[in-house]
Structure 1
Amino acid sequence: MPSCARSRPRARVRARLRGSLAAGTADAFSDIDVEWVVPDGRVPACTRDVRTVLEHVRPVAAVRTSPDFFRSRERRLLFVRFSGVPLFWRPDLELREASAAAEPGSGDPAGHAREGEWSRPASALANALGAVKAVARGRVDDANGLLERGFARIGEPDAATGRWVDDVTRLARAAVDREPDLAAPAEETVAPAAVELGG
């Protein structure tokens, strides 16, 4: 049994859908937004256990923690990649303790990740995927911003051009150049870009 559940067996733990899936407005590109509320003081332990818990759903390829709440003791935002599931359907898991505010705001600056505690290339690759979604939804300004921030995040001297498949491909490859372990998700990002954006 995961330690976050074992330590407080009678404490209430609950999970629910959020975002577009909960509202009934999801499309083919929507993330799976889930809120997981745990007993006070159990966020660090449950963060450690989350992969074990999710493996009961299906094999997990990766779990990445948002830098915004990386050190927070009351909430975390986790980006999950399941094996064999399209990247568009990434679960975004908001983990928070019961007494924490439901809406996080900007968070406590002391809870933010320090340099080296989070992966800039992985974050840039997530921007590349976000740009694919934005273009497919007709939100070209959003796509442009995502790409520009992605290039800047990893110090790549490049920019969005509006040739979307090329832009996404260059950002994905730049991320892999800096972190070779991202090769597989990068390919999974570039392939649907060509399909969805007509490249």
Structure 2
Amino acid sequence: MEARDDEAGTGGSGGDDTGGRCRADAEPREELAGRVLAALEAALPGSRAALRGSLAAGTADEFSDIDVEWVVRDAVFGAAVADVPRILAGVRLLTEVRADPDFLHSARRRLLFARFEGVSLFWRLDLSVRAESVADDADHDARNPAARAREGEWSRPASALANALGALKALGRGRPEEARGLLDRGFARIDERDAATGAWAADVIRLARATVRRDGALAAQAERIVALARSGARRGDTEGTTGVTVAVEGADDAEGLERSQGSERPAAGGHG
């Protein structure tokens, strides 16, 4: 689910405005994940919560999010989904909970995105909630149009802002063409006549600012992403064209974690 495109988005006004510096109250990602698992199972006896993705596989890097699957009885599925904000707020102060539009109306499957106060933007919780009867069906409702959100039930600007953050994650992992695709789709999603140029910091900042012009409620989150992009340009290449050094907000290390990129230079303009 990492660097997920076409999602409900990353809006919200709270968060860790560290610009890549560690907050004193930051906790290790694995510890946070463990507390989420415990809270979910305690809230609904008989349910099962487990890590998925790179954290479960032991392949996570500093940009990996927290993927969790929560399996509940069919009879309480709706109530369990509705109770997620309360449960997660008991783990750590929440700044947002959003739903993936692909499963917004599914009766047995939901995908929720949550962010916590004082936690890196990259360390989002992606919570898959499944009814017991479809727990082993990886494709349940994936091709069901009735399960999807209708236009107006999800935020295109917030989704595009998620792509801006996803592009920073891709750059941090040395994947410039993935970043280009995320940025181009982000611009297209909000009908912005723009595209990635390969001046990565400037590209990310333009997309972030374009989302705020369409939805002012995204301003605080967008400015955190802008700060990360600017920090990367300063620490890496001053023109932001040959690479980006991405500082990880809320990292456990007191100096913050950084990843420097190589000198691959994609062609300016055009689409990946």
Q: 1:134, CA displacement in angstroms? A: 0.3
Q: 1:15, CA displacement in angstroms? A: 0.6
The question of whether the paired residues in 1 share the 8 Å contact of 2:112 and 2:128 is answered with yes
Q: 1:102, CA displacement in angstroms? A: 4.3
1:165 to 177, 183, 201: 201
Partner of 1:62: 96
The answer on 1:83 being equivalent to 2:117 is: yes
Distance across 2 between alignment mates of 1:104 and 1:81: 26
Pick the structure with more helix per residue. Answer: 1
Give 5+ residue unaligned stretches, structure 2.
1-41, 241-272
Closer/same/farther in 2, CA of residues 145 and 52 from structure 1, 3 Å limit? same
Alignment RMSD: 1.7
**1:35-54 correspondence runs (5 A):** 35-54=69-88
The answer on 1:13 being equivalent to 2:50 is: no
Local SS of the residue matching 1:99? helix
Partner of 2:214: 178
Q: 1:142, CA displacement in angstroms? A: 0.7
Distance across 2 between alignment mates of 1:42 and 1:193: 42
Partner of 2:59: 25
Q: 1:84, CA displacement in angstroms? A: 1.4
The answer on 1:142 being equivalent to 2:191 is: no
Partner of 1:154: 190
The answer on 1:121 being equivalent to 2:157 is: yes
Distance across 1 between alignment mates of 2:192 and 2:119: 29
Larger RCO (alpha carbons 8 Å, 6+ apart): 2
Distance across 2 between alignment mates of 1:159 and 1:58: 37
Partner of 1:104: 139
The question of whether the paired residues in 2 share the 8 Å contact of 1:147 and 1:159 is answered with yes
- 1:101-140 Cα distance to aligned partner (Å, 9 max, x none): 3423634211000000011111111000000000111111
Q: Please, what TM-score do these two structures have when normalized by structure 1? A: 0.91
Local SS of the residue matching 2:74? coil
The question of whether the paired residues in 2 share the 8 Å contact of 1:69 and 1:107 is answered with no
The question of whether the paired residues in 2 share the 8 Å contact of 1:36 and 1:93 is answered with yes
Identity of aligned residues (%): 60
Closer/same/farther in 2, CA of residues 102 and 26 from structure 1, 3 Å limit? farther
2:224 to 174, 188, 196: 188
The one-letter code sitting in structure 1 at the alignment partner of 2:118 is: G
Q: 1:42, CA displacement in angstroms? A: 2.8
The one-letter code sitting in structure 1 at the alignment partner of 2:231 is: V
The question of whether the paired residues in 2 share the 8 Å contact of 1:41 and 1:74 is answered with no
The question of whether the paired residues in 1 share the 8 Å contact of 2:205 and 2:226 is answered with yes
Q: Please, what TM-score do these two structures have when normalized by structure 2? A: 0.67
Distance across 2 between alignment mates of 1:49 and 1:108: 25
The question of whether the paired residues in 1 share the 8 Å contact of 2:112 and 2:127 is answered with yes
Distance across 1 between alignment mates of 2:132 and 2:226: 39
Q: Which has the larger radius of gyration?
A: 2
